[in-house]
């Protein structure tokens, strides 16, 4: 099984006629994702090079295609409005790849998504992939293999390295989700872990955290109280120089809060093994599942 995304999911691409939208639409189609159309205001009625219909609005696209998910490849200044348009049109799953969205815009959109009962992944994220079924976003399909380990990550590129390490050890994945590294994202570790907990075909979950904020500390407490499946963790930034801001906008350390040490300590107290290297993480997961 998988969570959030499978072969039956009907996906719209907001920004489908742009450079990034067009390129990644082709990649998603090649992977088997059911892309049913796209949205670019002012270009409705056209067909893409892949023969997909373009609509002027998400509302129109949903009415014509029955889409239930959307992926956003539009510039940062328009991205929050694109998320808002999608959830107002009844889209249940919105994946926002765009980075650089102003924090105040995200505050407004975050509450709107919650009020509509929708789910937002991102922004500033690589998206979702259910190996062998479908992908939404920019994750490279070739490194993934179908299996029984879920992956949730704040980091994009490190996720690819960890997935590759799992795959080369014969450990396939049920679903991999990049939640994004901005200060405000639509879905947290705590939002997604229960979905894996309830999935009969997920045996364990790998979390990829990073320095900054207190998401990992809160997640550790949540795991201790609510999650029974094995969880394994890797914290990006363990060797980050003191006082330096690293990577994502959310990777900001203030005093002793948000450090790799505080996150590792919290996971340890919750019984979650934290690996020092990617290879150690993959080996630990393999040893536990064998």
Catalytic residues: 248
- Among 99, 15, 86, 162, which Cα is nearest to 24's? 15
Residues recorded for the chain:
290
Six-digit token string for 157: 């590129």
Kindly report the number of other CB atoms within 10 A of residue 28's CB atom. Answer: 24
Question: Is residue 45 within 8 Å of 31, Cβ to Cβ?
Answer: no
Q: Where are the alpha helices (DSSP H) in the chain?
A: 19-31, 58-65, 76-88, 103-116, 157-168, 189-197, 215-226, 260-269, 278-289
Identify the DSSP state of 285: H
Cβ density class 70-81: b for 16+ within 10 Å, e for less: bbbbbeeebbbe
Determine the distance from the C-alpha atom of residue 120 to the mean position of all C-alpha atoms in its chain, rounded to a whole number. Answer: 9
Kindly report the number of other CB atoms within 10 A of residue 241's CB atom. Answer: 7
- Among 170, 183, 135, 127, which Cα is nearest to 152's? 127
Any idea which residue has 């079924």 for tokens? Answer: 133
Question: Is residue 117 within 8 Å of 87, Cβ to Cβ?
Answer: no
Six-digit token string for 171: 């450990």
Question: Is residue 196 within 8 Å of 220, Cβ to Cβ?
Answer: no
Pairing mode of beta strands 146-153, 173-178 = parallel
Tell me the C-alpha distance between 126 and 96, whole Å.
9
């Amino acid at each position: 099984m998988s969570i959030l995304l499978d072969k039956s999911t009907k996906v719209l691409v907001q920004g489908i006629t742009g450079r990034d939208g067009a390129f990644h639409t082709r990649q998603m189609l090649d992977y088997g994702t059911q892309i049913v159309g796209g949205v670019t205001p002012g270009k409705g009625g056209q067909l893409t090079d892949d023969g997909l219909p373009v609509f002027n609005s998400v509302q129109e696209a949903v009415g014509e295609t029955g889409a239930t998910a959307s992926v956003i490849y539009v510039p940062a200044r328009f991205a929050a409005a694109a998320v808002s348009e999608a959830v107002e049109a009844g889209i249940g799953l919105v994946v926002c790849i765009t980075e650089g969205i102003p924090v105040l815009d995200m505050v407004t959109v975050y509450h709107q998504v919650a009020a509509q009962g929708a789910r937002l992944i991102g922004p500033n994220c690589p998206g979702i992939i259910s190996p062998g079924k479908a992908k939404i976003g920019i994750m490279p399909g070739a490194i993934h293999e179908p299996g029984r380990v879920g992956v949730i990550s704040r980091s994009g590129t490190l996720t690819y390295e960890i997935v590759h390490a799992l795959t080369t050890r014969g450990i396939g994945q049920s679903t991999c989700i990049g939640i994004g590294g901005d200060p405000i994202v639509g879905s947290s570790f705590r939002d997604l872990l229960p979905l894996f907990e309830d999935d009969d075909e997920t045996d364990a979950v790998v979390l990829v955290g990073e320095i900054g904020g207190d998401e990992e500390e809160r997640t550790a407490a949540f795991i201790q109280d609510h999650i029974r499946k094995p969880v394994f963790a890797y914290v990006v930034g363990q060797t980050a120089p003191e006082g330096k801001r690293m990577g994502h906008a959310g990777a900001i350390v203030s005093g002793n809060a948000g450090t790799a040490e505080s996150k590792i300590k919290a996971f340890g107290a919750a019984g979650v093994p934290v690996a020092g290297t990617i290879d150690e993480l993959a080996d630990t997961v393999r040893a536990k599942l064998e």
